[in-house]
Amino acid sequence: MPWRDNSEMEKTQTTLESSLQSVDEAEVIVMREADKAGFDDDEQHQIGMAVRECMVNAVVHGNRYSKKKKVHLDVERSNDSLTVIIGDEGEGFDLSSLPDPLSPENLMRQSGRGILLVRAFMDEFDLHPRQGGGTEVRLVKNLAKS
């Protein structure tokens, strides 16, 4: 549900089911906001991919597809950046437990590259426990100054 506050920031909050369809829905929502914010096609692609990766983590690894658990998507669009916050209701996640996907021994692993791509595509990424349980990630992409 969108609203405007006094600081020229538009926010959208959406609650999504723990399904792969929600991954697509989140991508559509965020891409629409990224387009409105003025990001170019490549930047929109990067933002969309970062959101997909975080949504997959929330749905698959966080909520484990539970119908009882929701994914919380907040999008904040300002004049100079787009902030996306994705929260799950899972058991929590320790980022330091993730093997480095670029080390030679992990290069041929099938999974574990999602966060690497998110970090590559976004200007800011942080992950922390979500109030009330679960994990929350915060992604920021800044608009290039013209």
Partner 1 sequence: MSVKLTSRQVGDVTVIDASGRVTLGEGASAFRDMIRDLAAKGNKKLLLNLSDVSYIDSSGIGEMVSGFTTVTNNGGQLKLVGLSKRVKDLLQITKLYTVFEVYDDEAEAVRSFS
DSSP assignment of 48-79 equals HHHHHHHHHIIIIIISTT-TT-EEEEEEEE-S
144 is a site residue for partner 1 (CB under 8 A): no
- DSSP code, position 81: E
33 is a site residue for partner 1 (CB under 8 A): no
Please pick, from the candidates 16, 22, 23, 93, the single residue that binds partner 1 as defined by CB under 8 A: 23
Span near partner 1 by CB under 8 A; candidates 2-10, 69-77, 99-107, 136-144: 99-107
Sign (positive or negative) of CA dihedral 3, 18, 133, 137: negative
Strands (DSSP E) contained in 23-134 are 70-77, 81-87, 124-129
90 is a site residue for partner 1 (CB under 8 A): no
Chain residues binding partner 1 by CB under 8 A are: 20, 23, 42, 45, 49, 52-53, 56, 60, 101-102, 107-111, 113-114, 116-117, 120
